[in-house]
Structure 1
Amino acid sequence: MRAQWDPRQIRAILFDAGNTLIFPNYNKLRQSLAKLGIFIEERDFMLAEYRAKDKLAKVLKTVGEDAHPQPLILYFDVIFHEMGLPEADLAKTRELVNSRGTIAELFNNISPSTYTTLKLLQKWGYILGIVSNADGNLRKALDKFGLTPYFHFIIDSKEVNYEKPDPRIFFLALERAGVQPYEAVHVGDIYPVDVLGAVRAGIFPVLVDPLGYYNDLDCLSIKSVDELLTLFQKIF
Protein backbone atom coordinates (compact mmCIF):
# COMPACT_ATOMS: atom_id res chain seq x y z
CA MET A 1 0.00 0.00 0.00
CA ARG A 2 2.83 2.41 0.75
CA ALA A 3 4.21 2.11 -2.79
CA GLN A 4 1.02 3.64 -4.22
CA TRP A 5 1.40 6.85 -2.24
CA ASP A 6 1.97 9.92 -4.41
CA PRO A 7 0.62 13.08 -2.72
CA ARG A 8 1.09 15.07 -5.94
CA GLN A 9 -1.76 13.11 -7.53
CA ILE A 10 -4.22 13.55 -4.67
CA ARG A 11 -7.21 15.80 -5.32
CA ALA A 12 -9.71 14.49 -2.74
CA ILE A 13 -9.38 13.62 0.94
CA LEU A 14 -12.13 11.44 2.40
CA PHE A 15 -12.66 11.25 6.14
CA ASP A 16 -14.33 8.90 8.53
CA ALA A 17 -16.24 10.85 11.21
CA GLY A 18 -16.24 9.04 14.57
CA ASN A 19 -12.79 8.75 16.19
CA THR A 20 -11.25 10.56 13.24
CA LEU A 21 -12.82 14.03 13.37
CA ILE A 22 -15.17 13.77 16.35
CA PHE A 23 -14.62 11.64 19.43
CA PRO A 24 -16.69 10.25 22.29
CA ASN A 25 -16.77 12.42 25.38
CA TYR A 26 -15.37 9.75 27.66
CA ASN A 27 -15.58 11.97 30.73
CA LYS A 28 -19.32 12.56 30.34
CA LEU A 29 -19.90 8.88 29.64
CA ARG A 30 -17.97 7.98 32.77
CA GLN A 31 -20.07 10.37 34.84
CA SER A 32 -23.30 8.96 33.43
CA LEU A 33 -22.16 5.39 34.03
CA ALA A 34 -21.05 6.21 37.58
CA LYS A 35 -24.63 7.26 38.35
CA LEU A 36 -25.62 3.73 37.33
CA GLY A 37 -23.00 2.21 39.63
CA ILE A 38 -20.53 1.43 36.82
CA PHE A 39 -17.08 2.91 37.34
CA ILE A 40 -14.63 3.01 34.40
CA GLU A 41 -11.42 4.97 33.92
CA GLU A 42 -11.09 7.12 30.79
CA ARG A 43 -8.01 5.27 29.57
CA ASP A 44 -9.87 1.97 29.98
CA PHE A 45 -12.43 3.31 27.52
CA MET A 46 -9.73 4.07 24.98
CA LEU A 47 -7.95 0.74 25.36
CA ALA A 48 -11.20 -1.22 25.18
CA GLU A 49 -12.13 0.65 22.04
CA TYR A 50 -8.85 -0.33 20.40
CA ARG A 51 -9.34 -3.97 21.32
CA ALA A 52 -12.92 -3.84 20.09
CA LYS A 53 -12.21 -2.40 16.64
CA ASP A 54 -11.30 -5.66 14.93
CA LYS A 55 -14.20 -7.41 16.63
CA LEU A 56 -16.53 -4.65 15.50
CA ALA A 57 -15.39 -5.09 11.92
CA LYS A 58 -16.12 -8.83 12.11
CA VAL A 59 -19.60 -8.14 13.48
CA LEU A 60 -20.28 -5.71 10.64
CA LYS A 61 -19.33 -8.37 8.12
CA THR A 62 -21.88 -10.78 9.61
CA VAL A 63 -24.76 -8.42 8.79
CA GLY A 64 -23.90 -8.52 5.08
CA GLU A 65 -23.55 -5.64 2.67
CA ASP A 66 -26.45 -3.59 4.02
CA ALA A 67 -25.94 -0.94 6.68
CA HIS A 68 -26.39 -2.07 10.27
CA PRO A 69 -29.71 -0.66 11.56
CA GLN A 70 -28.20 0.74 14.79
CA PRO A 71 -24.44 1.25 14.27
CA LEU A 72 -23.92 3.43 17.36
CA ILE A 73 -25.55 0.91 19.68
CA LEU A 74 -23.49 -1.85 18.09
CA TYR A 75 -20.31 0.23 18.41
CA PHE A 76 -20.66 0.90 22.13
CA ASP A 77 -22.00 -2.57 22.87
CA VAL A 78 -18.82 -4.14 21.48
CA ILE A 79 -16.66 -1.73 23.50
CA PHE A 80 -18.44 -2.34 26.80
CA HIS A 81 -18.43 -6.07 26.17
CA GLU A 82 -14.68 -5.89 25.57
CA MET A 83 -14.31 -4.30 29.02
CA GLY A 84 -15.61 -7.52 30.51
CA LEU A 85 -18.68 -5.97 32.13
CA PRO A 86 -21.23 -8.45 33.50
CA GLU A 87 -24.47 -8.84 31.56
CA ALA A 88 -26.43 -6.81 34.11
CA ASP A 89 -24.10 -3.84 33.57
CA LEU A 90 -24.12 -4.33 29.80
CA ALA A 91 -27.89 -3.97 29.89
CA LYS A 92 -27.47 -0.65 31.73
CA THR A 93 -24.94 0.61 29.17
CA ARG A 94 -27.30 -0.28 26.31
CA GLU A 95 -30.08 1.64 28.00
CA LEU A 96 -27.77 4.64 28.42
CA VAL A 97 -26.66 4.60 24.78
CA ASN A 98 -30.27 4.23 23.67
CA SER A 99 -31.27 7.23 25.77
CA ARG A 100 -28.52 9.39 24.25
CA GLY A 101 -29.39 8.04 20.85
CA THR A 102 -27.47 10.11 18.29
CA ILE A 103 -23.94 10.88 17.17
CA ALA A 104 -24.27 14.46 18.40
CA GLU A 105 -25.03 13.21 21.91
CA LEU A 106 -22.38 10.49 22.09
CA PHE A 107 -19.60 12.04 19.99
CA ASN A 108 -19.06 15.66 20.96
CA ASN A 109 -15.35 16.00 21.61
CA ILE A 110 -13.45 17.81 18.84
CA SER A 111 -9.91 19.16 18.94
CA PRO A 112 -9.72 22.87 18.02
CA SER A 113 -6.80 22.02 15.72
CA THR A 114 -9.14 19.89 13.60
CA TYR A 115 -10.88 23.04 12.38
CA THR A 116 -7.52 24.59 11.48
CA THR A 117 -6.48 21.47 9.58
CA LEU A 118 -9.69 21.30 7.57
CA LYS A 119 -9.56 25.02 6.81
CA LEU A 120 -6.02 24.75 5.43
CA LEU A 121 -6.74 21.63 3.37
CA GLN A 122 -9.77 23.40 1.94
CA LYS A 123 -7.68 26.50 1.22
CA TRP A 124 -5.10 24.36 -0.57
CA GLY A 125 -7.81 23.25 -2.98
CA TYR A 126 -8.54 19.70 -1.85
CA ILE A 127 -12.01 18.25 -2.27
CA LEU A 128 -13.03 17.14 1.22
CA GLY A 129 -15.70 14.54 1.88
CA ILE A 130 -16.97 12.35 4.70
CA VAL A 131 -17.63 8.62 4.36
CA SER A 132 -18.99 7.33 7.66
CA ASN A 133 -20.87 4.36 9.07
CA ALA A 134 -23.49 6.38 10.90
CA ASP A 135 -27.10 6.43 12.04
CA GLY A 136 -28.75 8.95 9.74
CA ASN A 137 -27.99 11.86 12.08
CA LEU A 138 -24.45 12.60 10.94
CA ARG A 139 -25.33 15.80 9.10
CA LYS A 140 -27.07 17.20 12.18
CA ALA A 141 -24.01 16.43 14.29
CA LEU A 142 -21.64 18.08 11.83
CA ASP A 143 -23.93 21.11 11.62
CA LYS A 144 -23.98 21.35 15.40
CA PHE A 145 -20.19 21.35 15.61
CA GLY A 146 -19.68 23.72 12.69
CA LEU A 147 -17.92 21.15 10.51
CA THR A 148 -20.32 20.99 7.56
CA PRO A 149 -18.92 24.03 5.64
CA TYR A 150 -15.55 22.32 5.24
CA PHE A 151 -16.94 19.41 3.21
CA HIS A 152 -18.09 19.16 -0.38
CA PHE A 153 -20.25 16.14 0.47
CA ILE A 154 -21.24 13.91 3.39
CA ILE A 155 -22.07 10.23 3.00
CA ASP A 156 -23.93 8.65 5.92
CA SER A 157 -24.19 4.86 5.56
CA LYS A 158 -27.76 4.92 6.85
CA GLU A 159 -28.77 7.13 3.94
CA VAL A 160 -27.16 5.03 1.21
CA ASN A 161 -27.95 1.60 2.73
CA TYR A 162 -24.45 0.14 2.66
CA GLU A 163 -21.44 0.77 4.82
CA LYS A 164 -17.69 0.43 4.95
CA PRO A 165 -15.86 -1.80 4.12
CA ASP A 166 -18.28 -2.27 1.20
CA PRO A 167 -16.43 -0.62 -1.72
CA ARG A 168 -19.70 0.76 -3.10
CA ILE A 169 -19.76 3.48 -0.47
CA PHE A 170 -16.26 4.53 -1.55
CA PHE A 171 -17.21 4.41 -5.23
CA LEU A 172 -20.08 6.77 -4.41
CA ALA A 173 -17.62 9.12 -2.70
CA LEU A 174 -15.34 9.07 -5.75
CA GLU A 175 -18.31 9.87 -7.98
CA ARG A 176 -19.35 12.82 -5.82
CA ALA A 177 -15.78 14.09 -5.66
CA GLY A 178 -15.35 13.68 -9.42
CA VAL A 179 -11.99 11.92 -9.07
CA GLN A 180 -10.36 8.60 -9.88
CA PRO A 181 -9.36 6.19 -7.07
CA TYR A 182 -5.65 7.06 -7.37
CA GLU A 183 -6.55 10.73 -6.84
CA ALA A 184 -8.06 10.14 -3.39
CA VAL A 185 -7.06 9.13 0.11
CA HIS A 186 -9.34 7.93 2.88
CA VAL A 187 -8.57 8.75 6.51
CA GLY A 188 -10.12 6.56 9.20
CA ASP A 189 -9.45 4.71 12.43
CA ILE A 190 -10.58 1.08 11.97
CA TYR A 191 -8.14 -1.02 9.95
CA PRO A 192 -10.53 -3.71 8.61
CA VAL A 193 -13.22 -1.12 7.85
CA ASP A 194 -11.42 2.04 6.74
CA VAL A 195 -8.07 0.78 5.47
CA LEU A 196 -9.14 -2.47 3.83
CA GLY A 197 -12.37 -0.92 2.57
CA ALA A 198 -10.45 1.90 0.89
CA VAL A 199 -7.96 -0.54 -0.62
CA ARG A 200 -10.80 -2.60 -2.10
CA ALA A 201 -11.94 0.56 -3.89
CA GLY A 202 -8.42 1.41 -5.09
CA ILE A 203 -8.08 4.36 -2.70
CA PHE A 204 -4.94 4.99 -0.67
CA PRO A 205 -5.68 4.60 3.07
CA VAL A 206 -4.39 6.63 6.00
CA LEU A 207 -4.99 5.09 9.42
CA VAL A 208 -5.63 7.28 12.47
CA ASP A 209 -3.83 5.49 15.30
CA PRO A 210 -3.25 7.82 18.29
CA LEU A 211 -1.82 5.14 20.59
CA GLY A 212 0.38 3.44 18.00
CA TYR A 213 -1.63 0.25 18.39
CA TYR A 214 -1.24 -0.71 14.72
CA ASN A 215 2.45 0.05 14.24
CA ASP A 216 3.08 -3.43 12.84
CA LEU A 217 0.63 -3.00 9.95
CA ASP A 218 1.81 -2.09 6.46
CA CYS A 219 -0.11 1.14 6.02
CA LEU A 220 0.51 4.82 6.49
CA SER A 221 -0.62 5.87 9.96
CA ILE A 222 -0.98 9.19 11.77
CA LYS A 223 -1.79 10.03 15.38
CA SER A 224 -4.34 12.71 14.43
CA VAL A 225 -5.69 14.45 11.34
CA ASP A 226 -3.37 17.38 12.11
CA GLU A 227 -0.52 15.34 10.63
CA LEU A 228 -2.18 15.55 7.22
CA LEU A 229 -0.79 19.07 6.99
CA THR A 230 2.74 17.67 7.15
CA LEU A 231 1.93 15.12 4.46
CA PHE A 232 0.54 17.66 2.03
CA GLN A 233 2.16 21.02 2.77
CA LYS A 234 5.35 20.17 0.86
CA ILE A 235 3.35 20.34 -2.36
CA PHE A 236 2.61 24.03 -1.88
Structure 2
Amino acid sequence: MILRKPLNLYKAVFFDVGDTLMTIPAARVIMQQFLAARSLHRAEEEVGDLFTEAFRLFYYGRQLDPFEVCTPESDRAFWMKLYHYILDKLGVQEENWTDERIHQCCHGLYDLFTGPEAYQLFDDVSECIPNLQARGLQLGIISNFAPTLPDILQKKGIAHYFDPIIVSTLVGLEKPDPAIFKLALEQSGLLAEDVLYIGDHDRNDIWAPNQVGIDAVKIKRYDYHSGEGIHTLHELLQA
Protein backbone atom coordinates (compact mmCIF):
# COMPACT_ATOMS: atom_id res chain seq x y z
CA MET A 1 0.00 0.00 0.00
CA ILE A 2 1.19 3.47 -0.85
CA LEU A 3 0.15 6.34 1.43
CA ARG A 4 1.24 9.85 0.58
CA LYS A 5 2.35 10.20 4.18
CA PRO A 6 2.42 8.02 7.32
CA LEU A 7 -0.94 7.31 8.93
CA ASN A 8 0.02 9.14 12.11
CA LEU A 9 0.27 12.41 10.15
CA TYR A 10 -3.46 12.34 9.43
CA LYS A 11 -6.01 13.54 11.96
CA ALA A 12 -8.92 11.52 10.62
CA VAL A 13 -9.86 8.51 8.53
CA PHE A 14 -13.22 8.60 6.77
CA PHE A 15 -14.83 5.53 5.18
CA ASP A 16 -17.25 4.39 2.56
CA VAL A 17 -19.60 1.71 3.94
CA GLY A 18 -20.91 -0.77 1.37
CA ASP A 19 -18.18 -3.24 0.37
CA THR A 20 -15.76 -1.29 2.55
CA LEU A 21 -16.98 -1.79 6.13
CA MET A 22 -19.82 -4.21 5.56
CA THR A 23 -21.37 -6.43 2.94
CA ILE A 24 -24.26 -8.77 2.29
CA PRO A 25 -22.38 -12.08 2.14
CA ALA A 26 -25.42 -14.16 1.22
CA ALA A 27 -26.98 -11.70 -1.25
CA ARG A 28 -27.61 -14.28 -3.96
CA VAL A 29 -29.13 -16.76 -1.51
CA ILE A 30 -31.34 -14.08 0.04
CA MET A 31 -32.56 -12.95 -3.37
CA GLN A 32 -33.12 -16.51 -4.58
CA GLN A 33 -35.19 -17.34 -1.49
CA PHE A 34 -37.13 -14.08 -1.76
CA LEU A 35 -38.03 -14.86 -5.37
CA ALA A 36 -38.78 -18.52 -4.66
CA ALA A 37 -41.25 -17.42 -1.98
CA ARG A 38 -43.01 -15.57 -4.82
CA SER A 39 -43.03 -18.65 -7.05
CA LEU A 40 -40.10 -17.56 -9.20
CA HIS A 41 -37.75 -20.54 -8.92
CA ARG A 42 -34.29 -20.00 -10.36
CA ALA A 43 -30.87 -21.47 -9.60
CA GLU A 44 -28.74 -19.63 -7.04
CA GLU A 45 -25.91 -19.27 -9.55
CA GLU A 46 -28.18 -17.66 -12.16
CA VAL A 47 -29.62 -15.22 -9.64
CA GLY A 48 -26.18 -14.39 -8.27
CA ASP A 49 -24.59 -13.87 -11.67
CA LEU A 50 -27.40 -11.54 -12.71
CA PHE A 51 -27.12 -9.61 -9.46
CA THR A 52 -23.39 -9.10 -10.07
CA GLU A 53 -24.00 -8.16 -13.71
CA ALA A 54 -26.67 -5.62 -12.79
CA PHE A 55 -24.59 -4.11 -10.00
CA ARG A 56 -21.62 -3.60 -12.27
CA LEU A 57 -23.80 -2.23 -15.08
CA PHE A 58 -25.96 0.14 -13.04
CA TYR A 59 -23.64 1.11 -10.18
CA TYR A 60 -20.08 0.89 -11.46
CA GLY A 61 -21.12 2.06 -14.92
CA ARG A 62 -23.38 4.80 -13.60
CA GLN A 63 -23.04 8.31 -14.98
CA LEU A 64 -24.17 10.77 -12.32
CA ASP A 65 -26.10 13.85 -13.37
CA PRO A 66 -24.33 16.63 -11.42
CA PHE A 67 -27.56 18.61 -11.22
CA GLU A 68 -29.64 15.77 -9.82
CA VAL A 69 -30.40 16.02 -6.12
CA CYS A 70 -30.01 12.76 -4.22
CA THR A 71 -33.13 11.88 -2.21
CA PRO A 72 -34.62 8.78 -0.59
CA GLU A 73 -36.98 8.65 -3.56
CA SER A 74 -34.21 8.83 -6.18
CA ASP A 75 -32.25 6.13 -4.36
CA ARG A 76 -35.24 3.81 -4.33
CA ALA A 77 -35.90 4.57 -8.01
CA PHE A 78 -32.30 3.69 -8.92
CA TRP A 79 -32.43 0.33 -7.18
CA MET A 80 -35.92 -0.39 -8.48
CA LYS A 81 -34.50 -0.03 -11.99
CA LEU A 82 -31.68 -2.43 -11.14
CA TYR A 83 -34.04 -5.04 -9.67
CA HIS A 84 -36.41 -4.67 -12.62
CA TYR A 85 -33.48 -5.47 -14.92
CA ILE A 86 -32.75 -8.65 -12.96
CA LEU A 87 -36.38 -9.77 -13.04
CA ASP A 88 -36.59 -9.17 -16.78
CA LYS A 89 -33.48 -11.27 -17.32
CA LEU A 90 -34.95 -14.01 -15.14
CA GLY A 91 -37.97 -14.16 -17.47
CA VAL A 92 -40.81 -12.87 -15.33
CA GLN A 93 -42.69 -11.86 -18.47
CA GLU A 94 -42.75 -15.50 -19.58
CA GLU A 95 -44.04 -16.35 -16.09
CA ASN A 96 -46.97 -13.99 -16.80
CA TRP A 97 -46.10 -11.59 -14.00
CA THR A 98 -48.10 -8.38 -14.16
CA ASP A 99 -46.43 -4.98 -14.05
CA GLU A 100 -47.90 -4.48 -10.59
CA ARG A 101 -46.44 -7.74 -9.33
CA ILE A 102 -43.02 -6.84 -10.72
CA HIS A 103 -43.29 -3.40 -9.14
CA GLN A 104 -44.16 -4.83 -5.73
CA CYS A 105 -41.34 -7.37 -5.94
CA CYS A 106 -38.80 -4.64 -6.72
CA HIS A 107 -40.01 -2.60 -3.74
CA GLY A 108 -39.72 -5.67 -1.55
CA LEU A 109 -36.15 -6.28 -2.66
CA TYR A 110 -35.22 -2.66 -1.96
CA ASP A 111 -36.65 -2.86 1.56
CA LEU A 112 -34.91 -6.18 2.15
CA PHE A 113 -31.49 -4.94 1.06
CA THR A 114 -31.68 -1.65 2.93
CA GLY A 115 -32.55 -3.27 6.25
CA PRO A 116 -29.97 -4.33 8.85
CA GLU A 117 -30.62 -8.06 8.87
CA ALA A 118 -28.81 -8.92 5.63
CA TYR A 119 -25.63 -6.97 6.39
CA GLN A 120 -22.48 -8.26 8.02
CA LEU A 121 -19.34 -6.39 9.03
CA PHE A 122 -16.14 -7.52 7.37
CA ASP A 123 -14.01 -9.55 9.78
CA ASP A 124 -11.39 -6.83 10.25
CA VAL A 125 -13.81 -4.01 11.13
CA SER A 126 -14.58 -4.85 14.76
CA GLU A 127 -10.88 -4.94 15.60
CA CYS A 128 -9.44 -2.24 13.37
CA ILE A 129 -12.00 0.55 13.85
CA PRO A 130 -11.52 0.76 17.66
CA ASN A 131 -7.76 0.48 17.12
CA LEU A 132 -7.74 3.43 14.74
CA GLN A 133 -9.80 5.48 17.19
CA ALA A 134 -7.46 4.53 20.04
CA ARG A 135 -4.62 6.04 18.04
CA GLY A 136 -6.36 9.39 18.29
CA LEU A 137 -7.80 9.41 14.79
CA GLN A 138 -11.23 10.89 14.21
CA LEU A 139 -13.38 8.47 12.22
CA GLY A 140 -16.16 9.40 9.84
CA ILE A 141 -18.39 8.01 7.12
CA ILE A 142 -19.28 9.35 3.68
CA SER A 143 -21.59 6.90 1.92
CA ASN A 144 -24.06 6.63 -0.92
CA PHE A 145 -26.79 4.77 0.90
CA ALA A 146 -30.46 4.63 1.80
CA PRO A 147 -31.69 6.68 4.78
CA THR A 148 -31.57 3.48 6.84
CA LEU A 149 -27.77 3.55 7.13
CA PRO A 150 -27.51 5.22 10.58
CA ASP A 151 -29.88 2.59 11.98
CA ILE A 152 -27.88 -0.22 10.35
CA LEU A 153 -24.63 1.10 11.82
CA GLN A 154 -26.31 1.35 15.22
CA LYS A 155 -27.59 -2.21 15.06
CA LYS A 156 -24.16 -3.47 14.00
CA GLY A 157 -22.65 -1.78 17.06
CA ILE A 158 -20.28 0.64 15.33
CA ALA A 159 -22.24 3.90 14.90
CA HIS A 160 -20.67 5.47 17.99
CA TYR A 161 -17.20 5.39 16.44
CA PHE A 162 -18.10 7.77 13.62
CA ASP A 163 -18.62 11.51 13.47
CA PRO A 164 -19.62 12.80 11.02
CA ILE A 165 -21.87 10.25 9.33
CA ILE A 166 -22.68 11.67 5.91
CA VAL A 167 -25.37 9.71 4.03
CA SER A 168 -26.17 10.75 0.46
CA THR A 169 -29.95 10.42 0.74
CA LEU A 170 -30.01 12.46 3.97
CA VAL A 171 -27.82 15.37 2.77
CA GLY A 172 -28.96 15.60 -0.86
CA LEU A 173 -25.48 15.02 -2.28
CA GLU A 174 -24.06 11.89 -3.82
CA LYS A 175 -20.61 10.60 -4.67
CA PRO A 176 -18.83 11.22 -7.04
CA ASP A 177 -19.94 14.83 -6.49
CA PRO A 178 -16.94 16.33 -4.62
CA ALA A 179 -19.40 18.56 -2.73
CA ILE A 180 -20.26 15.68 -0.40
CA PHE A 181 -16.63 15.55 0.70
CA LYS A 182 -16.58 19.32 1.19
CA LEU A 183 -19.63 18.93 3.43
CA ALA A 184 -17.83 16.30 5.50
CA LEU A 185 -14.89 18.65 5.98
CA GLU A 186 -17.23 21.46 7.04
CA GLN A 187 -19.04 19.26 9.54
CA SER A 188 -15.82 17.84 10.98
CA GLY A 189 -13.91 21.13 11.07
CA LEU A 190 -10.93 19.45 9.43
CA LEU A 191 -8.74 20.49 6.54
CA ALA A 192 -8.54 18.25 3.48
CA GLU A 193 -4.90 17.40 4.17
CA ASP A 194 -5.91 16.10 7.61
CA VAL A 195 -8.16 13.37 6.19
CA LEU A 196 -7.54 9.95 4.62
CA TYR A 197 -10.49 8.33 2.85
CA ILE A 198 -11.00 4.58 2.32
CA GLY A 199 -13.42 3.12 -0.23
CA ASP A 200 -13.81 0.52 -2.95
CA HIS A 201 -14.93 2.54 -5.99
CA ASP A 202 -12.40 4.18 -8.31
CA ARG A 203 -14.48 7.26 -9.19
CA ASN A 204 -16.61 7.65 -6.08
CA ASP A 205 -13.95 6.88 -3.50
CA ILE A 206 -10.64 7.80 -5.10
CA TRP A 207 -11.23 10.41 -7.80
CA ALA A 208 -13.95 12.36 -5.96
CA PRO A 209 -12.13 12.96 -2.63
CA ASN A 210 -8.96 13.80 -4.55
CA GLN A 211 -10.85 16.69 -6.19
CA VAL A 212 -11.05 18.47 -2.84
CA GLY A 213 -7.54 17.55 -1.72
CA ILE A 214 -8.36 14.48 0.37
CA ASP A 215 -5.94 11.55 0.05
CA ALA A 216 -7.70 8.26 -0.70
CA VAL A 217 -6.82 4.58 -0.69
CA LYS A 218 -8.81 1.87 -2.44
CA ILE A 219 -9.84 -1.21 -0.48
CA LYS A 220 -10.16 -4.30 -2.64
CA ARG A 221 -12.52 -6.70 -0.91
CA TYR A 222 -13.28 -8.82 -3.99
CA ASP A 223 -11.36 -10.44 -6.84
CA TYR A 224 -12.91 -8.10 -9.41
CA HIS A 225 -11.44 -5.03 -7.69
CA SER A 226 -8.41 -3.97 -9.71
CA GLY A 227 -5.56 -1.50 -9.30
CA GLU A 228 -3.47 -0.54 -6.30
CA GLY A 229 -4.86 -0.62 -2.81
CA ILE A 230 -5.27 -2.62 0.37
CA HIS A 231 -7.20 -5.84 0.93
CA THR A 232 -7.83 -5.40 4.64
CA LEU A 233 -7.93 -2.63 7.23
CA HIS A 234 -5.08 -4.38 9.04
CA GLU A 235 -2.81 -2.99 6.33
CA LEU A 236 -3.80 0.52 7.43
CA LEU A 237 -2.66 -0.19 10.97
CA GLN A 238 0.75 -1.16 9.65
CA ALA A 239 1.17 2.02 7.59
* Structure 2 length-normalised TM: 0.77
Say whether the 8 Å CA contact 1:12–1:177 is kept in structure 2. Answer: no
What CA distance in whole angstroms lies between the structure 1 residues aligned with 2:141 and 2:155? Answer: 16
For 2:82, the equivalent position in structure 1 comes to 78
Say whether the 8 Å CA contact 1:162–1:168 is kept in structure 2. Answer: yes
What CA distance in whole angstroms lies between the structure 2 residues aligned with 1:9 and 1:102? Answer: 36
Once the two structures are superposed, residues 58-113 of structure 1 have per-residue CA deviations (whole angstroms, 9 ceiling, x without a partner) of: 2xx137342153425624743774798246379375243144263425x5122343
For 2:13, the equivalent position in structure 1 comes to 13
Determine which structure has more spread, i.e. the larger CA radius of gyration: 2
> Please, what is the CA RMSD of the aligned residues?
3.1
Say whether the 8 Å CA contact 2:142–2:181 is kept in structure 1. Answer: yes
What CA distance in whole angstroms lies between the structure 2 residues aligned with 1:230 and 1:145? Answer: 25
| Residue 155 (structure 1) shift | 1.0
For 2:119, the equivalent position in structure 1 comes to 108
What CA distance in whole angstroms lies between the structure 2 residues aligned with 1:125 and 1:115? Answer: 17
2:225 is aligned with 1:230: no
Aligned to 2:119, the other structure's residue is in SS state: strand
Aligned to 2:176, the other structure's residue is in SS state: coil
Q: In the superposition, relative to structure 1, how do residues 146 and 39 fare at CA in structure 2: closer, same or farther (>3 Å)?
A: same
Once the two structures are superposed, residues 14-50 of structure 1 have per-residue CA deviations (whole angstroms, 9 ceiling, x without a partner) of: 1111111121241323322333323333863674345
Of stretches 203-212 and 2-11 in structure 1, the one that deviates more from structure 2 is: 2-11
Aligned to 1:66, the other structure's residue is in SS state: coil
Q: Which residue, out of 215, 220, 224, partners 1:204?
A: 215
Q: In the superposition, relative to structure 1, how do residues 207 and 84 fare at CA in structure 2: closer, same or farther (>3 Å)?
A: farther
Alignment length, in residue pairs? Answer: 223
- Match runs of 1:9-158 below 5 Å: 9-24=9-24, 25-26=26-27, 27-35=29-37, 36-41=40-45, 44=49, 47-48=52-53, 49-50=55-56, 52-55=58-61, 57-58=62-63, 61-62=64-65, 64-68=67-71, 69-71=73-75, 74-75=78-79, 77-78=81-82, 81=85, 85-86=89-90, 88=92, 91=102, 94-100=106-112, 102-105=114-117, 107-158=118-169
Structure 2 residue ranges without an equivalent (≥5) = 94-98
Aligned to 1:221, the other structure's residue is in SS state: coil
* Structure 1 length-normalised TM: 0.78
Say whether the 8 Å CA contact 1:15–1:130 is kept in structure 2. Answer: yes
Aligned to 1:153, the other structure's residue is in SS state: strand
Identical-pair percentage:
25
